[in-house]
Structure 1
Amino acid sequence: MSTPTPSTVPDFDPDAMLDRARDTFDIEAQAVLGLKQRVGANFVQAVRAILGVRGRVVVMGMGKSGHVGRKIAATLASTGTPAMFVHPAEASHGDLGMIKAVDLVLAISNSGEVEELTTILPVVKRQGVPLIAMTGRPDSTLAKHADVVLDAGVEKEACPLNLAPTASTTAQMALGDALAVALLDARGFGAEDFARSHPGGALGRKLLTHVSDVMRSGDSVPRSTPQASVSDLMKSMSVGGFGAAVILESDGRASGIFTDGDLRRLIEAGTDLRSARAEDVMHRGPRTIRAEALAVEAAELMEQHGITRLFVTDSDGRVTGALNTHDLLRAKVI
């Protein structure tokens, strides 16, 4: 049986649909702003309780609250608070063993009366596990078992039948985010900490990738001596398609750089290169960067000076590597 298209649905009114969408935004925005007015001492108490946990925050919830709970657990874990999600129904059939006395349970239920959740609460309490309830009913069974109650109540759902969890799940999500952000701030969790938990993301690459991880080294570094002929210098430049060569003193320090652009300009100017030496045509004082610097710092240095390549030095200033924008692009740093 084919699914009806909007044009075949009786009495389909585009303007009414847009009005319904706008009403949904208004209702859910009001639900979140309502939390702002109610957040207070209980929220602070919840943050303190989580900060004091030696184990993990075990997030639980059924149905739509369970979906929200999975997201909250993931957000907590990625921002410095060890957390995991345990399904209440599975907990009654063995998964309750995942919860240890050193953990804390964050139970989410708008009604606070979900049977799968309320059934296991006495067992959790007997283990001495602290319980934070996130519920829309502070007088519910869940709230009565809790050590701390976070009021996530809303005046009404965005659903016109006031049945489907909509505004209530938005409020739960926002309250979970507020917890995660408050905990992140209290722990002094910074960008580098975030990168360590997101090594595969763009931020992780930027904050965890060092110049030494992406640079060319050994024979892949095009090099020459000050006394080399321009012909030999050109041969050095062809190494690895780098398009430039570093001119090194006998101690391994860089005295200059010569690029394919320099060569083109000299030829265009009609310069006689047959008797010239590398030291005659090179640019002195090339830009360099230390191997232990972040790769993103190399990208910033290139952008700042309008260049596309850098040579890498050790703590004594000796050249140990080279990199260009193509190397940074391959590493997905830029």
Structure 2
Amino acid sequence: MNARTAPHAEPLLVDAETVVRSARTVIATEAAAIRALEQRVDANFVDACQRILACKGRVVVSGMGKSGHIARKIAATLASTGTPSFFVHPGEASHGDLGMIQPDDILLAISYSGETDELLFILPAVKRQGIALISVTGNPRSSLAKQADVNLDANVACEACPHGLAPTASTTAALVMGDALAVALLEARGFTSDDFARSHPAGSLGRRLLLRISDVMHAGDDVPRVPPGASLSEALVEMTRKRLGMTAVVDGDDRLLGVFTDGDLRRALDDDGIDLRNATVAGLMTRGPKTIGSDKLAGEAAQLMEKHGINALLVTDARGCVVGALNIHDLLRARVV
């Protein structure tokens, strides 16, 4: 057994300068590969976008090995940004999965060499169905590129691997070309943040973009409210019962006059000039409090609270009547923040 792999071998010591230099070289090499792609966003790229936009089916993305991993990610990015897409393994395609590809689809094939046997093997069957082929290769003279209707050139000067063997810069370039396609198509379709949220309902981004104030606020009898003539003790009882750290102060028609919070209570206790036994909440409340509409996004409430350093908000309608209330804990439970 090699001493380097023996279970009880001494761990190798890392030379900090060497590993930092190596890492920086990799980053610089891959960054240069990405910069070189800019000049290759040309008529072929436009043609690829036009074909995908005109496609009545799905974009089927395929690749083998490391290119297969990149293909999976590109398919996922396309699908989440408005372009129906999925991944097909080229090896499995020749054993039945070709049935997943329909005549209205487009095949996006990724192979740096352009000579991947598994991809080339399925091309005749794909072509017989009249399916358009877009390839992403590092060799525009390769077999795959020559058979493609459109080839996107993702050639790199060198791999980041010091032996020039492990796909590193080449896979990064293919991934970036796929991202460029996805975003260009997103903008061409007019795909909005709301559209994005609808395909990401379980994620934190989806919650911020889909959840409305009406989904998380307290309503009806759960909203703390007192009239302006209420005593301090009455306001405190209402705050304690409703557990939001505040109470709305409203008139007989439920129109908002002000808010009384824990902060207002502390300020009142620190003010020796206030007769707390005889004071009414109207004299202690904060007038013109920050409010929000029930149709607004829950994420907007979080931003409003953060901006003004407050922990709760009252929800009002167009007439200024209180219809709900929420605090930071409601947003935390909804995982908006």
**TM-score, normalised with respect to structure 1:** 0.90
For residues 70-85 of structure 1, the aligned pairs below 5 Å read 70-85=72-87
The size of the alignment, in residue pairs, is: 331
Counterpart CA distance in 1 for 2:21 and 2:308 is 53
Report the AA paired with residue 12 of structure 2. Answer: S
SS of residue matched to 2:12: helix
**Distance (Å, rounded) in 1 between the aligned partners of 2:115 and 2:216:** 56
Amino acid at match of 2:93: A
* Offset at residue 103 of structure 1 (A): 0.9
Which residue in 2 is equivalent to 1:225?
Answer: 227
Aligned equivalent of 1:2: 7
SS at match of 1:102: coil
Q: Distance in 1 between matches of 2:311 and 2:70?
A: 46
Q: Partners of 2:106 and 2:219 in 1: how far apart?
A: 50
Q: Is the Cα contact below 8 Å between 1:221 and 1:239 reproduced in 2?
A: no
Assess if the C-alpha contact under 8 Å between 1:107 and 1:131 holds in 2.
yes
Q: Pick which of 143-152 and 24-33 moved more.
A: 24-33
Equivalent residue for 2:186?
184
1:50 is matched with which residue: 52, 56, 60? 52
Which position in structure 1 is the counterpart of 2:240? 238
Task: Tell me how far apart the structure 1 counterparts of residues 245 and 192 of structure 2 sit (CA, whole Å).
Answer: 39
* CA deviation string 1:136-187 (max 9, x = no partner): 2222221222110111222332333333222221221121111112112212
1:17 CA displacement: 4.8
The alignment partner of 2:202 has SS state of coil
**How far apart in 1 are the matches of 2:304 and 2:156?**
51
Q: Deviations over 1:211-259 (max 9, x none)?
A: 1111112222111122333332221121232222112211121122222
* Cα distance per residue 1:23-76 (max 9 Å; x no partner): 433332332233223331111111111111111110001111111101111111
Aligned to 2:304: 301
Amino acid aligned to 2:87 = F
What's the secondary structure of 1:238's corresponding residue? Answer: helix
2:3 alignment counterpart: none
**What letter matches 2:178 in structure 1?**
G
Partner amino acid for 1:7?
Answer: L
Identity rate, percent: 59
Partner of 1:112: 114
Which stretch shifts more, 133-142 or 193-202?
A: 193-202
**Larger mean Cα displacement after TM superposition, 183-192 or 104-113:** 183-192
Is the alpha carbon distance of 1:268 and 1:32 closer, same or farther for their aligned partners in structure 2, counting shifts above 3 Å?
Answer: closer
* More displaced 10-residue stretch of structure 1: 233-242 or 26-35: 26-35
Aligned: 1:327 with 2:330: yes
Q: Structure 1 unaligned runs (5+)?
A: none
Deviation sequence 1:92-123 (CA, Å, 0-9, x none): 11111111111100001112222211111011
Alpha-carbon distance in 2 for matches of 1:156, 1:100: 37
Instruction: Identify the residue that residue 157 of structure 2 maps to in structure 1.
Output: 155
- SS for the counterpart of 2:158 is coil
Q: 2:37, 2:99 → 1: CA distance?
A: 34
Instruction: Give the superposition deviation at 1:14.
Output: 5.9
Matched-pair contact (CA < 8 Å) for 1:81–1:183:
yes
Within 1, Cα distance between the matches of 2:301 and 2:156? 50
Q: Which residue number in structure 1 is paired with residue 42 of structure 2?
A: 40
Instruction: Provide the residue aligned with 1:310 in structure 2.
Output: 313
TM superposition score normalised by structure 2: 0.89
Question: Which among 90, 96, 100 is matched to residue 98 of structure 1?
Answer: 100
CA contact (8 A) 1:206 1:296 kept: yes
Matching of residues 143-292 of structure 1 within 5 Å: 143-270=145-272, 271-292=274-295
Match of 1:139 in 2: 141
What RMSD over aligned residues (CA atoms) do the two structures have, in Å? Answer: 2.3
User: Whole-Å Cα distance in 2 between the matches of residues 14 and 301 of structure 1?
Assistant: 45
Q: Relative to 1, partners in 2 of residues 1:5 and 1:167: Cα closer, same or farther, differing over 3 Å?
A: farther
Match of 1:59 in 2: 61
User: Which amino acid in structure 2 is aligned with residue 288 of structure 1?
Assistant: T
Change (3 A) 1:260 1:168: closer
Contact 1:254 1:286 in 2 (8 A): no
Over 3 Å counting, the alpha-carbon distance change for 1:27 and 1:290 in structure 2 is closer
